[in-house]
Amino acid sequence: MLDIRFVRERADEVVTALKKRGEGTEILNAFLAIESQRRDLLKIVEEKRQVRNTITKEVGNLKKQGKDASSVLKEAKKVSDGIAEKEEVLRELDRKGMDELLLIPNIPHESVPVGTDESQNKELRVWGAKPDFSFEPLNHWDIGENLGILDFERAGKIAGARFVINKGAGARLERALMNFMLNVHTKDHGYTEILPPILVNRESMTGTGQLPKFEDDLFKLSEESKGFLLIPTAEVPVTNMHRQEILNENDLPLYYTAYTPCFRKEAGAYGKDTRGLIRQHQFNKVELVKFVKPEGSYDELEALTANAEEILKRLGLHYRVVCLCSGDLGFSAAKTYDLEVWFPAQGKFREISSCSNFEDFQARRAGIRFKKPGKKGTEFVHTLNGSGLAVGRTVAAILENFQQEDGSVIIPEALRHSMGTDRISKL
RNA sequence: GGAGAGGUGGCCGAGUGGUUGAAGGCAGCCGCCUGCUAAGCGGUUGUGGGGGUCAAACCUCACCCAGGGUUCGAAUCCCUGCCUCUCCGCCA
């Protein structure tokens, strides 16, 4: 959420931002109209309240002294008359204004390249090299099925499309990766491990920006089941840990890492990545989340991105880093780096991590502030997060990049100990 | 799932219709005092909005879990929701 005052006083900057994102200004205009009505009414209501407070105090004094207050009471009644209705209208305007404000996306950072879609994302660096195959590399789903470690068919039977069963070495690989990632981030990068709820309430989803705009992308339990929502990413519960809190300046920065399953409807993705592990309704992910002071938040983004990259490096996976252009930027983000790993069978890079600085956009929605000792008032923290990494996609990348002509797959050095083997072969 | 109790400021805790943004204590901050000890004395310390100012001062509205209601007036009464605790039931 943007600062109300900022939107009001510097609407032109919001318009510029919306244009960069390729979005219209209807919502902004609707908001501004409601907001000006709200402020006018607020002034009136507050004046009335002030009058009422004064008279009411007088009533109290008279009664205390045992004097007759009936004439003042009459006046008081008159003043109070009509306040209730006006307050009701004010509440309505409040709600409506907030509804609109919650739909306005974040302002892209000045360093974000302007562009309309992903084709204009900017490649920043490439690590490693494409593997050399003396044979036609297979898709990861064929490798996985051939090895008997991924079972999409039975998953379809027990759940439906976009689910998978990991079996044997496939399950172990998934588990080894989760452990590996968590170990690196906790031991080498200084993050605190969190194992959060994966069902959350609406306030949490609103706090990080999934609601109200992206309700259709979320799995939801019925009202009889309390209307819980299934998290699409650990970003939601972990960022909301500090919702409506005032942190101490000394507490910052806070670094958290969390493994969770993630659930996404993929409602707008019909026909996209229908095969394989790339786009599942349920997948595992290790997430990195930071709460930091505003001053250094862009350095923190670089560091967080480097932390995610470190996993790919240690696994020996060829990848590149791109900076999303304004048109491809997510709703809540001010700046995002995507890590894209090489998929040889598809012959292209695919996203495996998305690292963003949300600045105070989520913090304002979620009321996450900090206090500087000795200073009056509070400031919003900056929140950041990134995948470190999406585990299923990492499995897919390992299968494709390290496949051998005989159908086996070489296990990266970093995982061999926990896998108990250096190669997955057909049994 | 059933029965009961409760949710007040950084913390503890008073307050059941009228100068209560909220007693008292603790903690913090500022000052004073003191040749004795984590001592004593005085003062001070919430958040958000609107107005005001170069910036302050200042004025004002709201906030005692959340949302409604009753009333001239609510932390205080009523309703709903959420959460915590105790007992019973069920259960990984």
CA–CA dist A28, A106 (Å, integer): 12
Q: Round to a whole number and report the distance in Å from the CA of A56 to the C1' of B31.
A: 40
Nearest nucleic acid nucleotide to A94, CA to C1' distance: B49
pLDDT of residue A68: 78
CA–CA dist A332, A233 (Å, integer): 14
Q: Round to a whole number and report the distance in Å from the CA of A201 to the C1' of B80.
A: 18
CA–CA dist A241, A251 (Å, integer): 14
A264 catalytic residue (yes or no): yes
Active-site option among A49, A52, A202, A279: A279
CA–CA dist A125, A236 (Å, integer): 29
Grouping H, G, I as helix, E, B as strand and the rest as coil, residue A270 is: coil
Q: Return mean pLDDT, chain A.
A: 94
Report which secondary-structure segment, H or E, holds A95.
helix A83-101
Q: Round to a whole number and report the distance in Å from the CA of A73 to the C1' of B58.
A: 31
Nearest nucleic acid nucleotide to A48, CA to C1' distance: B61
Domains plus CATH for chain A? 4-101 (1.10.287.40), 118-424 (3.30.930.10)
Active-site option among A23, A145, A310, A351: A351
Residue tagged 């068919």 (tokens):
A153
Q: Round to a whole number and report the distance in Å from the CA of A302 to the C1' of B68.
A: 47
β A254-263/A192-194 pair status: parallel
Token pair for residue A130?
């494409």
Q: Round to a whole number and report the distance in Å from the CA of A185 to the C1' of B6.
A: 42
* DSSP E strand boundaries for A167-243: 192-194, 199-200, 229-230
Query: Contacts by A135-139 with C-beta closer than 8 Å and gap 24+?
Result: A135/A405, A137/A344, A137/A345, A137/A400, A137/A403, A138/A345, A138/A400, A138/A403, A139/A275, A139/A276, A139/A345, A139/A346, A139/A400
Q: Round to a whole number and report the distance in Å from the CA of A409 to the C1' of B23.
A: 74
Taking each helix axis from N to C end, the angle separating A140-147 and A169-183, rounded to the nearest 10 degrees, works out to: 120
pLDDT of residue A80: 84
Decide: A418 and A140 in contact? Cβ < 8 Å: no
Using one digit for the tens of pLDDT, what is the confidence trace for A312-328?
Answer: 999 999 999 999 999 99
Measured CA to CA in angstroms, residue A260 lies from A173, A239, A276, A277 at distances of: 16, 14, 20, 17
Q: Taking the model in full, what pTM does it have?
A: 0.94
Decide: A236 and A230 in contact? Cβ < 8 Å: no
Q: State which nucleotides on strand B lie below 7 Å from a protein beta carbon.
A: 18-19, 47-51, 60-62, 67-70, 72-73, 82
Using one digit for the tens of pLDDT, what is the confidence trace for A363-422?
Answer: 999 999 988 876 777 889 999 999 999 999 999 999 999 999 999 999 999 999 999 999
Cβ within 7 Å of nucleic strand B, residues: A 4-5, 39, 42-43, 45-46, 49-50, 52-53, 55-57, 59-61, 63-64, 73, 76-77, 79-80, 83-84, 88, 91, 226, 246, 369, 371, 376-378
Active-site option among A354, A359, A364, A387: A354
pLDDT of residue A71: 82
Using one digit for the tens of pLDDT, what is the confidence trace for A283-292?
Answer: 999 999 999 9
pLDDT of residue A422: 96
Decide: A379 and A392 in contact? Cβ < 8 Å: no
Closest C-alpha among A257, A252, A255, A205 to residue A229: A205
pLDDT of residue A404: 97
Active-site option among A21, A38, A393, A400: A393
Active-site option among A162, A264, A350, A369: A264
Using one digit for the tens of pLDDT, what is the confidence trace for A59-113?
Answer: 888 887 777 778 888 888 888 888 888 888 999 999 999 999 999 999 999 999 9
As a three-state string, the secondary structure of A68-81 is CCHHHHHHHHHHHC
Nearest nucleic acid nucleotide to A64, CA to C1' distance: B18
pLDDT of residue A58: 87
CA–CA dist A32, A26 (Å, integer): 10
Nearest nucleic acid nucleotide to A46, CA to C1' distance: B61
The residue that minimises its CA distance to C1' of B81 is: A226
Residue tagged 């490096």 (tokens):
A313
pLDDT of residue A159: 94
A354 catalytic residue (yes or no): yes
CA–CA dist A239, A357 (Å, integer): 13
- Interior CA angle at A214 toward A195 and A274, to 5°? 80
Q: Round to a whole number and report the distance in Å from the CA of A308 to the C1' of B89.
A: 49
Q: Round to a whole number and report the distance in Å from the CA of A336 to the C1' of B7.
A: 41
Residue type for A388, please? G
Token pair for residue A176?
């080894």
A279 catalytic residue (yes or no): yes
Q: A383 has which bridge partners?
A: A291, A359
Residue tagged 């318009």 (tokens):
A15
A8 catalytic residue (yes or no): no
Residue type for A338, please? D
